[in-house]
Structure 1
Amino acid sequence: MTPVLLGGLHAASFTPSTTAVGGSVYLTAAVGLLPLVTFFLLMGVFKVATHWCSLISLGLAAVLAVVAFGMPVGMTVMSATQGAAMGFVPIIYIIIAAVWLYNLTEVSGRSADLRAVFNAIGKGDMRAQALIVAFSFCGLMEGLAGFGAPVAIAAAMVATLGVAKLRAAAVVMVGNAINVGFGAMAIPVTTAGKLGGQEPVTVASFMGHLTWVLCAVIPLVLLFILDGLRGVRQLWPLAVVAGLATGAGHFLTPTLSYELTAVLASLLGLAASYAFLLVWTPTTPQEHRSHVDKADAPDRERVILALLPYVLVVVIIAITKLWKIGVDLSQALRATDISVPWPGVHGSLLGPDGEASASAIYTLQILSNPGTWILVTAVIVTLVYSARSVPGAFEMTVRQGFTTLATTCHTLRLAILTIASVMALAYVMNFSGQTTAIGAALAATGAAYAFLSPVLGWVGTAVAGSATSAGALFANLQATAAQGAGLDPRILLAANTIGGGLGKIVSPQNLAIASTAVEAPGSDAEILRKVAPYSLGLLLALCTLVFIASQGWLDAYLPA
C-alpha cells in the first residue's frame, strides 16, 4: 500500500452532507443518483455485461464521493472494501452454498424425481407448481434465511420444474418481494422500528395491514409472468386461494410474533394451495403440462431423497433460528459473530450528531450465517446421496459431490465479481451521503411525501440490495419527516420496509443471484427488463395505499 493511501486512511473525520453540491438538497440528490442511473442505463439500454456495469458505476460513485461530496480518498477506498467484504460474507457465501445444494440434485439425477413430486402436487400443471414454489416456498425460505438464499434456491427449483430459465428467475424475484420486509426473522422490521423510534411489533402490525392487499394480488401477477392472460384465466382460483391465505397470515401474525410473519403466512399459503388442489383441477395447455413417465414413477424412498435438500435446509435453518429449549440457539450463534471496526472508516465517519457511525463496523457472521447451515445441509445431502447411490440411475460419490462445489465456484466467478463490486458501490454511495441525499430530497417534498415515502425504501434496497440497509439508511429520516409533515411515523416506517422488498426485485445483487441460480449468467439485463415493470407497478400501488392510509381514511382499519 502506498504512503499516499496510507495517509488517506488516517484522514480527518468526515460527516456526509445532504447539501454538499451547491448547497442544494435537490442538486445533491441529482448528483447522488448518477451512479445508479449509469448502472441501469449501461445494463438495460446499452446491454453492457453486468460486472462491467457495476465496476464502472463504482468508479463513478468513488469520483463523485471525493470531488462532489468531499469524502477523503482513503475513506472512499476503504468504504468500497467494506462493501466488498459484506458482498463475500454473507451474500456470496450463501449463494455458493445454495447453488451447490441445487447442483447436487442435478449431478445425482434426483432432480427428475423432484419434478415428479411437484407434478403430483400441481396436478401436472407447471404454472401451478411454479406458483407454489415462487410464492409460498420462497416466502418460507425468506422468512427463515433471507440474504439471497431464497431466490437462489427457489429460482433453481422453478427452472428444474421445466419453466424457461429467465421466466423462472423473474417469477421468483417478484414472488419473493412481499416477504422481504419480514425476511430473516423480520430483521428489516426490527431495524426500522428501533432506528425510527417505534416498537418493531407496531411497525410490523401496520405492515401486515397493508401487505395483505399486495399478497392477494401478487399470485395473479405471477401467473401473468408465467403464461400471460391465459394463465390468469385458467388458474385464478388457485392464485386467489394462495394470495388470500398468505395475506391472512400477514394480517394476523405480527401481533402474535412479528418475527415469524413470513414463515407462518407462507406455510398457510402453502397448505391452502395444497388442500385446494386436492379438490380442484386446472385446465392445462399441453406446453405447460409436466410429463412423468409412469413406468419410472418414484417410490417413497426416491420421493424422500428428491425432497431431502429442500426440506432439510428449511428444518436446519428453522432450528438455528427458533430453538429456545435449554438455550436460545439463535442468540448463541450470534454471540460468535466477530465485529470488525473497519480500518480507515470507523471513528472517522461521523453521523449528523458528531458521533462515530456504527455502520463502519463490519460483522463477520459464520455460525449465525444461513450460508453455513445451507453448506452443512449440502454436505449431509452429499453423504446421503453417495450412500444411496444407484449405478446408472442415481449414481454419485462423495468425491463427485465435493467436485461439484469446486465447479460451482468456478461457474459463479463473474457473479461473485458483480456482487462484490455492487456492494462496494452501495457502501461508497451510502457512506459518502449520496443515498441519503436522495432520501432527503424526497422528504423535502412536503404534502406529497406521504405518497413518495415508499420510494425511499425502494431506492435504498435497489442500491444496497438489502431491506435492512434501507431501514438503517432511512428509518430516522422517515420518522423525522413524518413529524414535520404531521404524518403517522408508523405508517411511513411500514411503507419504507415494504417498499424495500419491492426494490429488491430490481437490485443488481438480486439480478445476479437469480441469473446465476438458473444457470444463465450474464442475462441480468434481460431479467431486469422483465421484472422492472412489475416492481414499479407494485410500488405505485403501495404509494397509493400509503397515501390513503396517511390521510386517516383507514384509521378504523389500521392498528390503534
Structure 2
Amino acid sequence: MEAYVTGLNWFLTFLPIAVLLILMIGFRWGAAEAGPIGWIIATIAALTVFQAPLTLVALESVKGLWAAFLILYIVISAILIYEVTQEADAFEPFRRGIERFSPNRLIQILAFGWVFASFLQGITGFGVPIAVAAPLLVGIGVRPLYAVIIPLVGHAWNNTFGTLAVAWLTLKEVTALSEADAAVTALYAAGFIWVISIAGGLLVCWLYGRLAGVREGLAAVIPISLVQGGLTIVLSQWNDTINGFIASVVAFALIFVIGKLPQYQRPSVVRSSRIFTDVPRGEAAGDELPQPQMGVHQAFTPYYSLLGLTFGILLITPIKNALEFFRFGLSYPETVTGLGFANGSTETSVTIFTHAGTFLLAAALIGYFTFAAMGAFRQGSMQRILGRTLDKSVPSIIAVSSLVTMSFVLRGSGQAEVLAYGVAEVAGGFYPFLSPYIGVLGAFMTSSNLASNALFGSFQQVTAQVANLNEFAILGAQTAGGATGNTIAPGNVLLGTTTAGILGREGDVLKVTLPLALLIAAVIGVVALIVA
C-alpha cells in the first residue's frame, strides 16, 4: 500500500474533497451543485491513475445509488410528514400548549428551542427544527437573533440518531460495519452525543441570564440531558433506528412534568433577559391572540401514528418477522483495480415494510386523512403539500446521491485508502483529536450530518485502520462532530434567519455558534484521543 502513497496520488485523492470545499465555501455553491462535480473528479481519477476498470466504477456507482435510495426514502417521507402538519397549521396548537403550561420564560425557551427542536429532529430533521422553532420563539417574544441561535444549538445532539437515524444509517452504509461493530460504534457515538446535549441546555440558560440563568435552569437541564443522553446510550444497543426518536419523545414529555415544579410555576428570577424583547409579540397594544381550533393531541396525530407504527411493528415479534419476509436487494461480484485494490463480492437487501421511510410515509398519510376529516385543510392542500415536498426533495436527491456515490467510488477504487494512509502518516497518534473536526467540516460543507458521514465516513474508518487506532471511537467522533457541525451549517443558519425575519445576519449567528462548535469538538477530540 505504502508504495502508492505518493504526493501526486495523495493530491488526486484529496482533489474531489478540495473541490467541494472551494465550490461550497469559496463560491457558495450548494451540495446539489458541488456534489456531482466531486463525483466526476473521483471517477476520472479512479479510471486513470488508479486503473479501475469501467465495470468497477459502474458497480460502485450502483452501490452508491442503492445506498442513496434507502437514505432518500427517509428524507422525502420526513419532509412529507412535516408539510402535512404545516399545511394543517397544526404547529400552532403546539405553541399555545407549551406557552400555557408555565409562566416561566426560561422554561418556555428550553421547551421550544431545546426540547421541542430536538423532538422535531427526532422525527423530521433536514432543517425543519430550525424552520419551525425559530419563528415560534419569535412569537413568544424572543429576539430574532437568539431565536435562530437557540434551536441551532438545541437540536444538534439528535442529528445522528434522530430522523429515524438516517445519518447513522448512512455511516453504517458507507463503512459496511457488521452488526457487532456497529453496536460498539453506536456506544461511542452516543457517549460523545451526551456532551452535545448538556452543552445545548447550558448554553440556552447562559444566553438567557448568564450565571443566574444557569442556576435557575439546572433543575430542568440535568434531568432532561440525562434522558436525552442516557437514553441514547441505552437504546444504541437495542434499536438504533428509533433511538433518537424515543429519547426526544421522552424528553418532550418530561419538560411538561418539570414545568409544573413550583419554581417554574412562577415568573423567572431573571427579570430582564437580553434575549427577550420588552413586550412579547401579541401582547402589545392590547392584541388578542386567536384561539386555536385544534387541540394539542389532535395536532399530534401524525406523530402519535409514527410512534404507534414503530413500536407496534418493531416490538411485536410475529408482526415484525412477517413483514421482514418481504425483502429485495442487489448482489455485486468481486472487483479488482489495476493497482491491486480488491472489493469482495457483496449482497445488499432491504425489508421495505419495516424501513424507517415506510413508517414516516404511513404516518404522513394517516395525518393527512385525519386532518382532512377535521376540516383543517383548504382547497388545493394536496397540491401544495406535494409541491413543497418536491421542491425540498430535489436538492436533497441530487446532493445525497452524488455524495454517497462519490464516497463509494473513492472507497472501491482505493482512493480512500491512499488518502487515509497519507493523513495517518502526517497526523500520527494525534489523529483522534482531529477526527470530530472532520465531521464538523463535513456538516459545514453540506449542511447535513448525513452528508458529512457519507463524505468522510469511509475515510475516517480507513485512516483509523491504517494508523492502528480504535476505528469505533473514530467513527463515533466523526458522527458526533457532524452533529455538532449542524450548529454552523450554512443551510441551517440560513433557514433560521429567513424564518425569523433577519436574513443577512448569518455572520452574527456564527459569532455565537462557531466558538461553541469548536469547543464541543475539542472536548470530543480529547476523549477520542484517550480512548482511541
Cα shift at 1:513: 8.6
Structure 1, residues 447-505: CA drift from partner, whole Å, max 9, x if none? Answer: 3244345456667887872658966665576366446xxxxx4xx52342133132255
Residues in 1 aligned to 2:310 and 2:202: alpha-carbon distance in whole angstroms: 30
Matched, 1:547 2:529: yes
Alpha-carbon offset, residue 542 of structure 1: 0.8
Q: Matches of 1:547 and 1:74 in 2, distance apart? A: 40
Listed as ranges, the gaps of 5+ residues in structure 2 are: none
Q: How does 1:368-383 map to 2 (within 5 A)?
A: 368-383=354-369
For the 8 Å contact 2:157–2:194, the answer to whether it is kept is no
- Asked whether the equivalents of residues 130 and 495 of structure 2 are also in contact (C-alpha less than 8 Å), the reply is no
Amino acid at match of 1:296: P
SS in 2 for 1:101: helix
Q: Is the 8 A contact 2:154 2:197 kept in 1?
A: no
The whole-number CA distance in structure 2 between the counterparts of 1:76 and 1:131 is 49
Compute the displacement of 1:365 (Å): 5.6
The reply to whether residue 236 of structure 1 matches residue 230 of structure 2 is no
Aligned equivalent of 2:305:
312
Aligned match of 2:410? 429
Listed one character per residue, the Cα deviations across residues 241-298 of structure 1 (whole Å, up to 9, x for unaligned) are 5553354343577468723664554355434433333332445622794548766333
| Residue 16 of structure 2, aligned match among 35, 48, 63 | 35
Q: Which residue of 2 aligns with 1:112?
A: 92
Amino acid at match of 1:298: P
Name the SS of the counterpart of 1:296 in structure 2. Answer: coil
Amino acid at match of 1:119: E
Percent identical residues: 19
**What does residue range 144-543 of structure 1 map to in structure 2 within 5 Å?**
149-159=124-134, 161=136, 174-182=153-161, 184=164, 195=177, 204-205=186-187, 210-221=192-203, 229-230=207-208, 235-237=213-215, 240-241=218-219, 243-249=221-227, 250-251=229-230, 254=233, 258-259=237-238, 262=244, 265-267=247-249, 269-278=251-260, 279-280=263-264, 281-282=267-268, 285-286=276-277, 289=280, 291=282, 296-298=290-292, 301-320=294-313, 322-324=314-316, 326-327=318-319, 329=320, 332-341=322-331, 346-348=333-335, 354=342, 356=344, 358=346, 361=347, 363-364=349-350, 366-389=352-375, 394-396=376-378, 400-401=381-382, 404-410=385-391, 412-444=393-425, 445-454=427-436, 465=451, 467=453, 474-475=460-461, 478=464, 481-482=467-468, 489=470, 493-504=472-483, 506=485, 530=510, 534-543=516-525
Q: Name the aligned partner's letter for residue 312 of structure 1.
A: S
Distance 1:479 1:401, change over 3 A: same
Computed over aligned residues only, the root mean square deviation of the Cα atoms, in angstroms, reads 4.7
1:205 Cα deviation from its structure 2 partner? 5.0
- Please give the TM-score of this superposition, normalised by the length of structure 2: 0.73
SS of residue paired to 2:238: helix
CA distance in 1, matches of 2:296, 2:306: 16
SS of alignment partner, residue 341 of structure 1: strand
Distance between the aligned counterparts of 1:369 and 1:176, measured in 2? Answer: 24
The Cα shift of 1:111 comes to 3.4
- What SS class does the counterpart of residue 329 from structure 2 fall into? strand
* Structure 2 CA distance for partners of 1:382 and 1:210, relative to 1, 3 Å: closer
Q: TM-score, normalised by structure 1?
A: 0.70
Per-residue deviation, residues 13-58 of structure 1 (Å, max 9, x unmatched): xxxx6764xx33x764443222222212222222235432223222
1:96 partnered with 2:71: no
Q: Distance in 1 between matches of 2:238 and 2:37?
A: 38
- Per-residue CA deviations over 1:307-346 (Å, capped at 9, x if unaligned) read 22334333333434x423544x2x554443321135xxx4
Deviates more, 1:457-466 or 1:213-222: 457-466
SS at match of 1:373: helix
1:138 Cα deviation after fit: 5.6
SS of the residue aligned with 1:68?
A: coil
Following the alignment from structure 2 to structure 1, what is the Cα–Cα distance between the partners of residues 76 and 89? Answer: 20
Query: What's the offset of the Cα at 1:78?
Result: 4.8
**Amino acid in structure 1 at the alignment position of 2:299:** A
- Tell me the amino acid that sits aligned with residue 292 of structure 2: P
Distance 1:236 1:68, change over 3 A: farther
**Residue identity in the other structure for 1:478:** A
Distance 1:159 1:324, change over 3 A: same
Distance in 2, matches of 1:256 and 1:303, equals 28
- Report the secondary structure of 1:424's partner residue: helix
Q: CA deviation at 1:209?
A: 5.0
1:67 aligned partner: 48
- Bigger shift: residues 265-274 or 196-205: 196-205
Q: 1:427 to 1:97 in 2, by over 3 A?
A: same
Aligned partners of 2:66 and 2:409: how far apart in 1?
A: 13
Code of the residue aligned with 1:258 in structure 2: it is: Q
